[in-house]
Amino acid sequence: MTLNLSLVTEEVAICVTDRRLSAPAGGIVSERGNKLTAFTCQNARGFITYTGIGRDDTGRSPDDWIVENPLLPTLPFDQFVEAMKKMADQRLGRLAAQGHDVRHSFVLGGFVAGTPVAVMISNFETLGEDGHRAAAYPQLSVSYCLPTPGAPTSTLIVATGDIPFDRKGRIEQIGRLAKKGAKPGELRAKTTRLLRESRTQRIAETASEPAFRGSSSCVGRTGNGYRRCWRRQPFRGGPYHRTRYDDPRFLYRRVG
């Protein structure tokens, strides 16, 4: 079960994700993988997360694809997104030719010249639509979510992965809190709790489901932010690592 939840307001972009990586042929590669990367490019800053393929045919993960591309940080955001799409299309195309299920989605959240934005790059789902395709399209497509012009507040929420249906109301509740001006720490805590509870529910349904491990990232519009990495063990909670990540020396920071 993959879980990702992203929230972008006028002041902060928050993402919480699990750490599960799956192989193209099926099966779990790791419960300690990284699926969250903070980035900066020519006119934007934010985070990238994903669901779907955890390893390609060379053993590289999608966050490796991003971090190992030296051109991405030099591009404006729209070209950054298109370059990610092209790069992923090539790798997913090779896997599709081998007969693998290549359904995959990237979610980017952050600020372009100070404006909040959420972007999905996917071959089986789009922003603004419920549900998804059972089979992947031949190529990825890009969908943007931008603030409504003239709206007093802007809150963009993107949920991907297997989040239980009965938790959808909680997602809407977090959105309402954001619109009322809740602080970033409270929003991140509630988002993290939602994903933990979703995994706890799954554990109750099947004894084979492992405990939830995850990462979270918080990127501020003005450049301030933090990252937090944590893992959840039965009867043992709390973070095991926390650090600032607003050091300008780094263009990419793997969260976790």
- According to DSSP, residue 157 is labeled E
CA angle 118, 213, 95 (to 5 degrees): 65
Identify the pLDDT of residue 12: 92
CB atoms under 10 Å from CB of 227, counted, come to 23
The Cα 38–Cα 47 span in angstroms is: 4
User: What token pair was written down for 160?
Assistant: 């991907």
**How many residues are there in the chain?**
256
SS3 at position 81: helix
Residue 204's SS3 state is: helix
DSSP 8-class letter at 165: G
pLDDT, mean of each 10-residue run, the chain (256 residues):
83 89 75 84 94 88 90 95 96 94 94 94 85 85 86 82 70 89 90 80 55 76 50 30 32 44
Tell me if 64 sits within 8 A of 254, measured CB to CB.
no
**In angstroms, rounded to a whole number, what is the distance separating the alpha carbons of residues 63 and 60?**
8
**pLDDT for position 206:** 53
225-231 and 21-22 beta bridge pairing: unpaired
* Residue-level pLDDT at 224: 47
What is the rounded CA–CA span in Å between residue 11 and residue 58? 38
Sequence-distant (≥ 6) Cβ neighbours of residue 19 within 8 angstroms: 30, 31, 32, 33, 34, 35, 213, 214, 215, 231, 256
Tokens found for residue 16: 């919480």
Distance CA 22, CA 10 (A): 34
Write down the pLDDT at residue 35.
87
Quick one: pLDDT at residue 203? 54
244-253: long-range contacts, CB 8 A cutoff, minimum separation 24 = 245/38, 251/39, 251/40, 251/73, 252/37, 252/38, 252/39, 252/66, 252/67, 252/73, 253/37, 253/38, 253/227
CA 230/CA 186 separation, integer angstroms: 17
pLDDT of residue 235: 28
Q: What is the pLDDT of residue 153?
A: 74
- CATH number of the domain located at residue range(s) 3-254 in this protein: 3.60.20
> Structural domain boundaries of the chain?
3-254
Pull the structure tokens for residue 131.
Answer: 């549900």
pLDDT value for 148: 78
Q: What is the pLDDT of residue 102?
A: 93
